[in-house]
């Protein structure tokens, strides 16, 4: 995190969904969806939490999804599971950082939100610092 200087606010907004029937989800596709939607949140929080804690202030906002709460009525199983995991990671980091001046929150947009989603981003681009 110090490579970028002082970081006060981080928004984790990576997201990618596929509507693959559960019986057709390959382990590779599962891992890719989890990497984009959950692992990226974990790694970002892990990197910036100590940096912000040492500054005594910071805000981390993780964009997750209602699919992680309702079982993915529109999205697939792997997307719903990854977004649920990202929401739980937000709660975990929020508890760990309580009292340090750093807050962690998650926003859970639903299907009615126009997110202006574009073409999928390869996992390598999402996870490269």
The catalytic site residues sit at 79
Task: State the Cα angle at 110 between 108 and 82, rounded to 5°.
Answer: 60
List residues bridging with 102 in a β-sheet: 58
In sequence order, what are the residues at sequence separation of 6 or more whose Cβ sits closer than 8 angstroms to the Cβ of residue 83? Answer: 15, 37, 38, 64, 65, 67, 68, 72, 75, 108
What six digits make up the tokens of 109?
A: 């947009």
């Amino acid at each position: 995190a110090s490579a970028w200087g002082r970081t006060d606010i981080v928004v984790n907004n990576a997201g990618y969904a596929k509507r693959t029937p559960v019986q057709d989800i390959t382990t590779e596709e599962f891992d890719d969806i989890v990497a984009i939607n959950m692992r990226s949140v974990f790694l970002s929080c892990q990197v910036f939490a100590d940096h912000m804690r040492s500054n005594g202030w910071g805000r981390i906002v993780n964009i997750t999804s209602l699919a992680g709460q309702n079982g993915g009525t529109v999205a697939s199983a792997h997307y719903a599971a990854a977004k649920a995991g990202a929401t739980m990671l937000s709660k975990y980091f929020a508890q760990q950082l309580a009292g340090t001046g750093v807050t962690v929150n998650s926003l859970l947009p639903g299907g009615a939100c126009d997110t202006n989603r574009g073409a999928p981003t390869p996992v390598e681009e999402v996870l490269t610092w």
